[in-house]
Amino acid sequence: MERADSNMDAYSSLPVEKWWGDENLYLWQGFWFRLQYLQATQEVHNHFDAVPSDVILASFPKTGTTWLKALLYSIINRSSRDSLITNNPHELVPSLEVQIYRRDIASAHSPARSPSGGIFNTHIPYQLLPETIKTGECRVVYITRNPKDTFVSLWHFVGNSTKPWPLEMALERFCSGVVPYGSYFDHVLGYWKESLERPKKVFFISYEELKEDPKTHVKRLAEFLGCPFSGEDEEEKEVEEIVRSCSFERLSNLEVNKSSDRPTWLPLPYSSYFRQGGMGDHKNYLDPEMIKRIDTITHEKLHGSGLVF
């Protein structure tokens, strides 16, 4: 492990490791960060002032964030669900550290409430959230995903950015935790434990659960968020309509989401957030040894937590 470049004074004392290509990650408080999001992450940690009506959508990258953004936006803003037709979900639910607190992009650095009524997204681990979220009244919804599918999705996403990411190298980085916001396992465990401690404030769901029975979970989410569906026929139709309008098939076929447009703050074009949208795709890329490697580390890390994938 090296130390950060000496010309970056603020970060020069942090441990640094290469993770892909020439890019380094910096270890801050036990988690790895890309430099361009580290400062914003620290600002969120120190300054974000959550209010009780805020909803924080938290996730590790590639676990279903885009989908859950669409769902939460639609559940909370039922009458303006059609906004999804012309806006990518990342426009409707901004990210704290990617959009709001970044100093190097024009619209950043304003901790104002979001246009969607206080729904914010973050990849920041639970352990590093600001105290106003950890001890306040706002609600947190965390989505996780099978680590093997998360890894394969991440590998595709990163490899699409500029240069391919060799699979073996990517697997080694993922398993050793040296990936942005990693380790994946510490990330998941932080939110999992908190959801057991404070179930009224932290809602924990997996991509797989949501995929298998979206209607039930949309209703559970609405209940948790304090805007339940009544159960009458009209409302049942509304639930079905939300599930349909946020489905992979529908969202990935909208012009806005097929677009190669990329706002300055987004790492890749909108279309990159919709790849395959299924379960078990890792079987098409990982050989039995690779699968065993992830399964073994998953067992070691999550053993005794009650969380099973």
Q: 123 an active-site residue?
A: yes
- What single string gives the DSSP state of each residue in the chain? -EE--TT-GGGTTSEEEEEETTEEEEEETTEEEEHHHHHHHHHHHHH----TT-EEEEE-TTSSHHHHHHHHHHHHSGGGTTHHHHS-HHHHS-BIIIIIS-TTSTT-S--PPPTTTSEEEE---GGGS-HHHHSSS-EEEEEE--HHHHHHHHHHHHHHHSS---HHHHHHHHHHT-STT--HHHHHHHHHHHHHH-TTTEEEEEHHHHHH-HHHHHHHHHHHTT-----SHHHHHHHHHHHHHTSHHHHHTSHHHH-----TT-SS-GGGG-S---S-GGGGT--HHHHHHHHHHHHHHHTTSS---
183 binds ligand A3P (CB under 6 A): no
Out of 186, 208, 235, 281, the residue judged to bind ligand A3P by CB under 6 A: 281
Out of 83, 87, 132, 247, the residue judged to bind ligand A3P by CB under 6 A: 247
What track of x and - describes contact with ligand A3P for positions 115 through 154 (by CB under 6 A)?
----------------------------------x---x-
Q: Which stretch binds ligand A3P (CB under 6 A): 8-16, 56-64, 195-203, 286-294?
A: 56-64
CB of 8 vs ligand A3P, minimal distance in Å: 28
246 binds ligand A3P (CB under 6 A): yes
CB of 274 vs ligand A3P, minimal distance in Å: 5
Q: Which of 47, 90, 109, 123 does the annotation list as catalytic?
A: 123
Interface residues toward ligand A3P, by CB under 6 A: 59, 61-67, 149, 153, 156, 246-248, 251, 273-277, 281
Q: Which residues form the catalytic set?
A: 123
